[in-house]
A and B are shown apart, each in its own frame.
Chain A
Amino acid sequence: MTAELGLAALWLAAALALLQLALAAMALAGREELLNGVRPVAVVQAVLALLAFAVLIRLFVVVDLSVELVALNDASTKPLLYRFAGAWGNHEGSMLMWVAILGLSGACVALLERRLPERTLVATLGTQAAIGLGFYAFLLFASNPFQRLVPAPAEGQGLNPLLQDPGLAFHPPTLYLGYVGLSIAFSFACGALLTRQVDAALARAMRPWVLGAWVFLTLGITAGSYWAYYELGWGGWWFWDPVENASLMPWLAATALLHSVAVLATRDSLRAWTVMLAVVAFSMSMIGTFLVRSGILTSVHAFAVDPRRGAFILVLLALYIGGALALFAARAGTVQEGRTFEPVSREGSLVANNLLLSAILGIVLVGTLYPLLAEAVTGEKLSVGPPYFNAAAGPLALLLVTIMVAGPLLRWRRDRLAALGRRVALPAGLALAALIALLVAAPGVRLLPLLGLVLAAGVALGSLAPLWGRNLRRTPMFTWGMVIGHLGVAVALAGMASESAFTRETLVALAPGQTAQVGPWRIRFDAVEPIAGPNWTALEATLQADRGGAPLLLKPQARFFPSPPTETSEAAIATRWDGQLYTVIGKGDEAGRWQLRLWWKPFVTLIWLGGALIAVGGVLSLLGRVRRERRAAERLAWL
């Protein structure tokens, strides 16, 4: 019965999306009296979509095996957390979460947005409804999550063991809030183009929404990176896999948008460009969803993913992205030119930021699609991995980070290079000192990590420069947000470069009682013992790590899940203030020895700390902007 309730809610939500689209279209066509009807419909639609998603979660929690999706992905033996999170650990469930968040985004706009002209807002909500309609249709016709299974099996198939991790509960929802939150900027852009209202007011309205989605995206990517790092047991934190690229591309576009929206809001420049970025950012979210969902990049055996689903999503993409870009091409030419600026100015640096971010985005996109292109054109099979991405995107990213220091120190509209030189003298000096210190203390570091470390030192100081000489108490919260966000970039960069430059790795086969050395650590291998978990068994090694001071105990496991039969490796990680010790156990041999893979990764944790700082910066900016606008509105009301 419950499953039917969810399905009914989904159908009703789809019907309301249709109604919302029709109302918006009629209102814009001249039926002004309908303008007020759009907001409530958007809210009710969101409630229904969220209800459908809540029903699915309930089905997973109570393990209702008469529902096919639950039978395939759930099991009563699973702990509660994984039954709960299992609702979105599969195709249909994650798509339902996608549309539920889309509905939620529309409802938030309907309830909270008061700055846009009413016609533009209605056009925005109409666009949002049009997107929703397509994805509701996709769920209802091509991936119904509430499909019944007759006869109901006695036990479910369980969850992929790799997903059985607390990370599943938090990582996908965060990432999806970011992906789908970008739909708001997309709809704003389309709404503004439709009603010819591209101006600074649009940018001021759009900015908090972009910031919000961008914060979630940043958190989602950071959490995903850490999850992959500890769960996969390969010692790496980023693999340039298509799925990771699918989350990175919208982030790059959203980061560019965040900066160009600032130019448009403050200086009323870059109108058409900002609108295009808003379209591109969410398009990248949809393309990412498509690339992952269609299986076109990852799957060779087409039947793992139904090819009809891929075709369905592709048609939706072609309609929405193609439609928005056609609208852009037709209307952007009529957008009035914004105000001008000199090349050496805050605007100039933000343009450079945008161009570099776009170029990096292009490089990631080309690398991700290239295997497909090569196969289609020449029939060659190939793969594109970290060497390509590091070589092509790395230098551009370092250049971008350098400009990041200069940007906030430049004045709007016009500035002089000499003045900038005086302002960055101190950070540049620190970078130079870091370079000399590194060359002396740690010769033999490769060029890219070396530049990364040097830049990180300069950028960390330079990102604080906008605060110099200011009364810190009276510094607006959004300035703090920018400073902390930029500082986060420097911190993350330091972590990446340090991990790349100073990681020590040891691969050995040891018998119990023997020791090995990795970096400063002496590791003693004590024993291997079998242990049993709720739905797995494992061989657990006991390691003692010692570098003077209290020894650490590490227990890496090789886990075995019987259903479906799968082996996973659980790394044991010890975190110290100056880095992480990362240990993995491999296979045993006839001589009683066990393979051990040990890493010492100095300051690797800075990568995720930096990511978190970037997100904190985003939150502060968001709060600062909202507060300032509220004050401005109050002042206006007072007058």
Chain B
Amino acid sequence: MALKTIRWLLWVPLILFVGFVALVASGLVTPSTHEIRSQLIGKPLPDFALPPALPAKPGLARVELGQGKPRLVNIFASWCVPCATESAQLATLKRAGVEIDGIAIRDRPEDLTRFLGRYGDPYARIGADRDSSVQMALGSSGVPETFVIDGAGVIRLQHVGEIRPEHVAGILAAVEAAK
């Protein structure tokens, strides 16, 4: 009797560990609900007007978005590593005919010039958001982040994080749907 009980008890650690693995595996596969999504999807953009981030390019204001054509607004910064890695995807999107505007977060013109020189410049306009206030107003919590704005100035999609090659098709579809 005693021996049998012990044999049985020896499996307890393994059973507890299987429970642990199941728990963390479920945590790994289910996307977290903590993620702070913009409350503004499906709503018109808030009003804003940003000064030019570079002398050679116009800044970005609310009135320039929603003029009949869908546009991409990319929130980025020269000091942000993932922003450099998504440059190839932004170039692909631009080649596909998507118009892209940028909002540079807490950046300096000389850093920005160097960044765009190295990784390419897909932007029609770049607004300088020196204190992240427009970023916050858009409901974005970090860089990079990309919004699809339809012809009426309504936010259609918020892409959190860098755009990877596998995301390009989805963003193009959202732009197409926003037409």
Contacts and interface: CB of A to CB of B under 8 A. Distances in A.
**Bound pair (A, B):** yes
Contacts of A376: 23, 26-27, 30
Interface residues of B, number: 34
Interface stretch (B5-13, B90-98, B170-178): B5-13
B28 A294 contact: yes
Nearest to A381: B34
Nearest to B3: A333
A435 B142 CA distance: 54
A307 B162 CA distance: 15
Contact of B13 (A280, A317, A372): A280
A173 interface: no
Main secondary structure, interface of A, reads: helix
A272 B9 CA distance: 12
Main secondary structure, interface of B, reads: helix
B121 to A, nearest CB: 16
Contact of A314 (B24, B31, B35, B81): B24
Nearest to A272: B10
Interface stretch (A29-37, A96-104, A161-169, A323-331): A323-331
Contacts, number: 85
A181 to B, nearest CB: 22
Given A300-B35, A369-B23, A379-B33, A307 B28 contact: yes
A253 to B, nearest CB: 12
Interface residues of A, number: 43
Contact of B161 (A279, A303, A329, A565): A303
Contacts of A426: none
A378 to B, nearest CB: 12
Interface stretch (B14-22, B38-46, B149-157): B14-22
A291 to B, nearest CB: 8
A328 B13 contact: yes
A157 B79 contact: yes
A38 to B, nearest CB: 28
A318 B24 CA distance: 11
A72 to B, nearest CB: 6
30 contacts: A154-B114, A157-B79, A276-B13, A279-B13, A296-B27, A296-B28, A300-B32, A301-B35, A301-B161, A302-B32, A303-B160, A303-B162, A314-B24, A321-B17, A322-B14, A322-B17, A325-B14, A328-B14, A329-B14, A333-B6, A372-B23, A372-B24, A372-B27, A373-B23, A375-B33, A376-B23, A376-B26, A381-B34, A564-B80, A565-B79
Top 9 closest pairs, chain A to chain B, by CB = A300-B34, A325-B14, A303-B161, A329-B10, A564-B79, A329-B11, A333-B7, A300-B32, A372-B27
Interface of B: 3, 6-7, 10-11, 13-14, 17-18, 20-21, 23-28, 30-35, 79-82, 106, 114, 118, 142, 160-162
Given A301-B142, A303-B162, A318-B21, 10 more contacts: A153-B118, A290-B24, A294-B28, A296-B27, A301-B160, A376-B23, A376-B26, A376-B27, A379-B33, A565-B106
